[in-house]
Amino acid sequence: MQDMHIAEDGRLSGEELGRRIERARGLAGMSQSKLASALGCDQSTISRLEAGRGLESADLERIAEVTGLPIDFFLRLEEPVGVLLRAEDTQAPATRLAVEAFSRFVSDYEFLLDLHEA
């Protein structure tokens, strides 16, 4: 797994957000051109966003919508569970739903552990 880039204020860096966009595009089975078409922009814009440059919150919301991923896929500090899976059938709707449900379960469990420790 690549190192995650987190700014001093605890937010993901533009570079890490760009990597998340690239991962989301891959999970959705989309090329840069296909994602650009769905967003109404050109491929060079997607390339720029994946490089972590010029990203705005509205862009992230639209990318989440188009790729079918929850916005927290892009914003959580830790790697989303679904990205860690390397199975060939991660594109299958049933697999994606199971991964998303498991990811929510893990997030909720971690939240409860944090509450218990506090």
**Which pLDDT tens digit goes with each residue over 44-57?**
999 999 998 988 88
pTM of this prediction?
0.62
Q: Is there a domain that residue 8 lies in?
A: no
Which tokens is 68 given? 């079918």
Please state the domain count of the chain: 1
Q: Is there a domain that residue 77 lies in?
A: yes
Q: Is there a domain that residue 37 lies in?
A: yes
Q: Is there a domain that residue 49 lies in?
A: yes
Distance between start and end Cα atoms, the chain: 29
Structural domain of residue 43, as residue ranges? 14-117
**At 84, which CATH number?**
1.10.260.40
Q: Is there a domain that residue 1 lies in?
A: no
Q: Is there a domain that residue 9 lies in?
A: no
Q: Is there a domain that residue 36 lies in?
A: yes
Q: Is there a domain that residue 58 lies in?
A: yes
**What b/e readout covers 22-49, taking b as 16+ CB neighbours within 10 angstroms?**
bbbbebbebebeebbebbeeeeebbeeb
- Give me the average pLDDT of each 10-residue run along the chain (118 residues): 44 85 90 96 95 88 91 75 54 70 83 81
CA distance 105 to 68: 18
